[in-house]
Structure 1
Amino acid sequence: MAVDFDLLVIGAGPGGYVAAIRAAQLGMKTAIVEREALGGICLNWGCIPAKALLKSGEVYEQLGHLGDYGLSVEGRAFDFDKVVQRSRKVAAQLASGVGYLMKKNKIEVIEGAAVLQKGEGAPRAVITLKAGGQRTVQARSVILATGARARTIPAAGLEPDGDRIWTYREAIVPKACPKSLLVVGSGAIGVEFASFYRALGAEVTVIEALPRILPVEDEEVSAAARKAFEKRGLKFRVGADVKKLAKSKTGVTVDLDVGGKAETLEAEVAIVAVGISGNVEDLGLEALGVKIDRGHVTIDAHGATNVAGLYAIGDVAGPPWLAHKASHEGVHCVEHIAGLAPANLKSPIPGCTYSTPQVASVGLTEAQAKEQGLEVKVGRFPFKVNGKAIAAGETEGFVKTVFDGRTGALVGAHMLGAEVTEMIQGFVLAITLEATEAELQGAVFAHPTMSEAMHEASLDAYGRVLHL
């Protein structure tokens, strides 16, 4: 069979479409297959519309504190339909932008669902087209970028019903704002939805099986975040195993085992946010013998699977399940296919939670650094003594830095506070460039800015903090 394309990408999320663009830049004849919408889950049903909702919630909540700034407004209210419609418009605008990028880079977009078969040098794809019929495509290389979906546990009732039990997909486009809400899972997705609905006045309880919320974050940040969320009225049940989630006459009930004691909670709606599962089904992977581990495709340091010519990137290839990680892997994978020497696939990946207050981190936690046997030096600086934070009325939270005392290398940074998801990139660059305490302490940070807390936390790790 003749080769149709140099590269075929299956899935047009932030990993797939970025991989396709990079391939086109390198002169590859490229096609991308998408069965739903360009931009994938992140752009259409996840990251982007969720942030639009969160912004609406944040602004509405801030209106309730205008008196703190010497301001006043009458008739604070929200139109929930318009809040949701705004988030959909934002997603649609960006999705159309991805379509433009495909045309600009001369990437053929094939609308349909692909199944892989054994081909010449690389698997070939048999695509069931949305418009009807089938098309068989052979490429020199194939990249799987099919993403993931919300994990469900049907035996425990943790499965959406489209009415009272939601995953992120239903929570993005609800028909009305619930008065009470249970969120099962306290990772970034669960905490963000809890934060949004609480901002609009819902009574929200977050249920977590592990001993603390945001369990992948540094323990100190996790504890401080919980206190900050509780100040806003959020409730938490940690160390709580869900035995059964079910619909009731008035909403939902959840039966918990909390330290050996039975407990039942009730609410109008429940959101299931207990992780994700890779989209590995119905792709022909089993027939090809593709190695799959715990629902994710196994890859090497360059994204290659065990099948010649087949690669995988993003959520389908395992954690961390983040859009920016998928894009990074996509560029790396394509450059490797092209015979270039791509940037390190294992560059530090920041994690961000867009709650109020926000959480951001990169690198090792303090506990992880100690487990690795590093000579740990930790610095901290609270926003409550930062001039810009005080002026802005955003004094919640702090910056924490983790250094290796033997080398001076920054190995981790952890932040809680307003707009820390924007500031974390400074620490990402520092770790990527292998900065030590000397570079960070010698850098000039603009005043007054909240980022000065980053400088002070670096100084504090070595007993040189200035403003505390």
Structure 2
Amino acid sequence: MSSTAYDMIVIGAGPGGYVAAIRGAQLGLNVAIIEREHMGGICLNWGCIPTKAMLRSAEVFHLMHRAKEFGLSATGVDYDLDAVVKRSRKVAGQLSSGVSHLMKKNKITVVMGQARLSGTDEVLVKTNKGDEVLTSAHIVLATGARARELPGLEGDGDLVWTYKDALTPKRMPSKLLVIGSGAIGIEFASFYNTLGADTTVVEVMDRVLPVEDEEVSAFAKKSFVAQGMKIREKAMVKQVDRAKGKVTAHIEQDGKVSKEEFDTVISAVGIVGNVEGLGLEEMGISVDRTHVVTDKYCRTDIAGVYAIGDIAGAPWLAHKASHEGLMVAEMIAGKAVHPIKPGSIAGCTYCHPQVASVGMTEAQARDAGHTIKVGRFPFMGNGKAIALGEAEGFVKTVFDEKTGELLGAHMVGAEVTEMIQGYVIGRQLETTEEDLMHTVFPHPTLSEMMHESVLDAYDRAIHF
């Protein structure tokens, strides 16, 4: 069996892998990328992008019902679920083909097949044309992760849906149970609830969106409930009984188990890394709870083997994977690099209202021993928000009282997933409250609330 040598081999063509491959090629490396299913990985095909396309349809549908509020008229407002899904799949397909184009443009060798490490510098790939062997002194693992399936809650495509089923529904749920209120669960709950499903969300932790600041979680819950969602916190689905056309869920809460019938269940209880079949154990590469163990430079136990993105652990975010891909490619090419600061990576949830955050929550800042100053500014105090008809929400900032360091920022409301990057840049550049106070924000914009929240932390807010 012949083998082909490369400067860098990337296993997995998701937002971590394909970005690493492109950056390596830009730096003059001869790069091969191996993908077993879709160019662009889960993110472009079954995650970030298609869910946002569907949520946009739900957002427009919601706005159409508010037409009178804006002096407009819209009658007979309805939706075509098949058309919504078709648009979502078209968007995903367009971007996936775009990744294939980028591979050709950058002269990256693409091998479609299942990869396995067969040596410290060797990868065996099973393709539909037979086995291929690729060799390189630098191998990047970027195989991503998949949804965790709990025993008894395995997807069946009919009553219990996986994320793929939820993205390509054969019918509209009438009574929906969503298990888990992290970003994935709450986005699906938001989409189907907006289209009219009677939606219940069960969360094992003491609040929805449990990784967010407590004030944001509380505000989001209040908004979800106002939209008709039922939220059950500190609760657990112990089992589900499947019958024709219905599921009976046994839900434990406050020490009591109740039974409730649903026609659809979506389980969104975390993810597991795609570590199987890669030959990691045989190579002596450490794996901890389905994630490859790495140092801050994404290096594994074996010299020349790296792991990036979801397979390398939290935070499980596409933009984190992409940046790790850039860093590793530059390292391989001999460039000086800086490790990623997890606390400067923003998290975004595209429910209604949107949620975005970066850095420490107020509680985390206090627990870390900081003496803090906290600022808040409501959407109702912002002219652009009122003009948009989006006066619900707030921006919150947390500073170290002694140094003025921006420890964290938390937002809930319209378009906050776009606004959060301002604070991300601030943390990256290590700006202080004084820098942010002296920054001139354009008017009228939603971003002015970011300025006012900083001012409020120091009792200087103008419009509230």
TM-score, normalised by the number of residues in structure 2? 0.98
Question: 1:234 Cα deviation (Å)?
Answer: 1.0
Letter in 1 for 2:162: T
Question: 1:422 Cα deviation (Å)?
Answer: 0.4
Of 257, 267, 270, the match for 1:275: 270
How many Å separate the matches in 2 of 1:69 and 1:143?
Answer: 52
Q: Deviations over 1:277-297 (max 9, x none)?
A: 000001111111110011100
Of 340, 346, 360, the match for 1:345: 340
Letter in 2 for 1:163: D
Correspondence 1:438-457 to 2 at 5 A? 438-457=434-453
Name the residue aligned to 1:127.
Answer: 125
Correspondence 1:56-455 to 2 at 5 A? 56-119=57-120, 122=121, 124-129=122-127, 131-154=128-151, 157-346=152-341, 348-455=344-451
How many Å separate the matches in 2 of 1:193 and 1:113?
Answer: 30
Letter in 1 for 2:421: Q
Letter in 2 for 1:354: Y
Aligned partner of residue 290 in structure 1, secondary structure:
coil
Contact 2:9 / 2:138 at 8 angstroms: preserved in 1? yes
Contact 1:13 / 1:145 at 8 angstroms: preserved in 2? yes
Q: Deviations over 1:57-85 (max 9, x none)?
A: 11011111111111111211111100000
Contact 2:3 / 2:132 at 8 angstroms: preserved in 1? no
How many Å separate the matches in 1 of 2:242 and 2:441?
Answer: 53
Letter in 1 for 2:391: T
How many Å separate the matches in 2 of 1:251 and 1:171?
Answer: 17
Q: Deviations over 1:198-223 (max 9, x none)?
A: 11111100000011000000011000
How many Å separate the matches in 2 of 1:39 and 1:227?
Answer: 36
Letter in 1 for 2:126: T
- Identity of counterpart residues, as a percentage? 58
Contact 2:145 / 2:310 at 8 angstroms: preserved in 1? yes
TM-score, normalised by the number of residues in structure 1? 0.97
Q: Does 1:48 align with 2:49?
A: yes
Letter in 2 for 1:135: E
Letter in 2 for 1:298: V
Q: How many residues are aligned here?
A: 462
How many Å separate the matches in 2 of 1:345 and 1:248?
Answer: 48
Contact 1:3 / 1:140 at 8 angstroms: preserved in 2? no
Aligned partner of residue 92 in structure 2, secondary structure:
helix
How many Å separate the matches in 1 of 2:337 and 2:92?
Answer: 31
How many Å separate the matches in 2 of 1:257 and 1:234?
Answer: 19
| Gap regions ≥5 residues in structure 1 | none
Aligned partner of residue 247 in structure 1, secondary structure:
strand
Q: Deviations over 1:251-272 (max 9, x none)?
A: 2121111010111222110000
Contact 2:3 / 2:134 at 8 angstroms: preserved in 1? no
Question: 1:301 Cα deviation (Å)?
Answer: 1.1
With over 3 angstroms needed to count, the CA separation of the structure-2 counterparts of 1:437 and 1:162, relative to structure 1, is same
Aligned partner of residue 158 in structure 1, secondary structure:
coil
Aligned partner of residue 137 in structure 2, secondary structure:
strand
How many Å separate the matches in 2 of 1:246 and 1:138?
Answer: 50
Letter in 2 for 1:140: A
Instruction: Decide which moves more: 243-252 or 196-205.
Output: 243-252
Aligned partner of residue 83 in structure 1, secondary structure:
helix
Name the residue aligned to 2:38.
Answer: 37
Question: 1:250 Cα deviation (Å)?
Answer: 3.0
How many Å separate the matches in 2 of 1:358 and 1:38?
Answer: 28
Question: 1:321 Cα deviation (Å)?
Answer: 0.5
How many Å separate the matches in 1 of 2:260 and 2:273?
Answer: 30
Question: 1:246 Cα deviation (Å)?
Answer: 3.0
Q: Does 1:27 align with 2:28?
A: yes
Question: 1:273 Cα deviation (Å)?
Answer: 0.1
Contact 1:291 / 1:297 at 8 angstroms: preserved in 2? yes
Contact 2:406 / 2:432 at 8 angstroms: preserved in 1? yes
How many Å separate the matches in 2 of 1:423 and 1:264?
Answer: 42
Contact 2:4 / 2:133 at 8 angstroms: preserved in 1? no
Aligned partner of residue 287 in structure 1, secondary structure:
helix
How many Å separate the matches in 1 of 2:363 and 2:189?
Answer: 27
Contact 2:297 / 2:339 at 8 angstroms: preserved in 1? no
Letter in 2 for 1:310: V
How many Å separate the matches in 1 of 2:314 and 2:12?
Answer: 17
How many Å separate the matches in 2 of 1:173 and 1:466?
Answer: 48
Contact 2:115 / 2:278 at 8 angstroms: preserved in 1? yes
| Gap regions ≥5 residues in structure 2 | none
Q: Deviations over 1:323-370 (max 9, x none)?
A: 000001111111122221123322511000001110000000001101
Aligned partner of residue 375 in structure 2, secondary structure:
strand
Question: 1:2 Cα deviation (Å)?
Answer: 7.0
Aligned partner of residue 140 in structure 1, secondary structure:
coil
Question: 1:166 Cα deviation (Å)?
Answer: 1.0
Instruction: Decide which moves more: 398-407 or 247-256.
Output: 247-256
Question: 1:248 Cα deviation (Å)?
Answer: 2.5
Q: Deviations over 1:403-446 (max 9, x none)?
A: 01110011100000000000000000001000100011111111
Contact 1:208 / 1:240 at 8 angstroms: preserved in 2? yes
How many Å separate the matches in 2 of 1:74 and 1:393?
Answer: 20
How many Å separate the matches in 1 of 2:272 and 2:42?
Answer: 13
Letter in 2 for 1:344: P
Question: 1:3 Cα deviation (Å)?
Answer: 6.1
Give the RMSD, CA atoms, in angstroms: 1.1
